[in-house]
Amino acid sequence: MKDISHLPEQPDPFVVFTNWFHEHSTHTKSAHPGACVLSTNGLDGFPNARFLSLKLIEVPFLIFGGTRESLKAKEISNDPHAALTFWWEESKRQVRVQGIAATTSDEHSDFLFRRRDKAAQLVSTISQQGAHLNSWEDLKDQFDAALASRYNESIARPENWCGFKVEPTRFEFMEFMDTRLHRRTLFSKKNNEWVVKMVQP
């Protein structure tokens, strides 16, 4: 396991994150290597968390997709402070990210949407994420019909679907040890530079 306790004077947590993510993606048996938990500040005062899939690492942003009407979108619009949490079982590593979230440009959103598989694209055209559902069977019928009739078509990105980007202000990298003497390294952005320190387990 790589030691990140000895870092250059001007460390870059994106280098560490990208390396760890690449190792995880290479060795994981999961079909969703980008799976992580997005936490936001709820409109009702309660914290809110849900799993989603990280789609791009584009310094200085971590990027995922979703709809503008979703609860996460409303919460980000109300309070852009957000967190992403990654747990990688094979390497026994955890990464916690805190930062500021925003929507991406239309061009970026188009690019992300094109990368989705056809079923996911079609779901985005028929589902109003988070809205009340009267009948799951009716929605399933709509999806099956769309899948049968439009599978070979090019699906345009719905106007309500977009990319979201989180610009991190903190990264915490934790390497789990069987002894429970875990290694924790915290990067914090101050005056536009990254400051790094070790944290006790």
Domains of the chain, first to last:
13-106+164-199 (2.30.110.10)
157: CB partners within 8 A, 6+ apart: 109, 110, 113, 114, 124
Instruction: Specify the DSSP element, H or E, that contains 97.
Output: strand 93-103
Q: Is 189 annotated as a binding residue?
A: no
Q: What's the longest Cα–Cα distance across the chain?
A: 59
Q: Is 55 annotated as a binding residue?
A: yes
Q: Is 53 annotated as a binding residue?
A: yes
Interval 36-84: pLDDT, tens: 999 999 999 999 999 999 999 999 999 999 999 999 999 999 999 999 9
Q: Is 71 annotated as a binding residue?
A: no
Region for residue 82 given its phi and psi (left: phi exceeds 0; alpha: psi -120 to 50; beta: otherwise): beta
Amino acid identity, position 101: A
Q: Is 92 annotated as a binding residue?
A: no
Q: Is 94 annotated as a binding residue?
A: yes
Q: Is 86 annotated as a binding residue?
A: no
Tell me the pTM.
Answer: 0.91
Q: Is 51 annotated as a binding residue?
A: yes
Render each residue's pLDDT in the chain as its tens digit; 201 residues: 445 545 555 589 999 999 999 999 999 999 999 999 999 999 999 999 999 999 999 999 999 999 999 999 999 999 999 999 999 999 999 999 999 999 999 999 999 999 999 999 999 999 888 889 899 999 999 999 999 999 899 999 999 999 999 999 999 999 999 999 999 999 999 999 999 999 999
In the chain, where does DSSP find H-type helix?
A: 13-27, 71-78, 106-115, 118-126, 136-150
The structure tokens listed for 73 are 């979108």
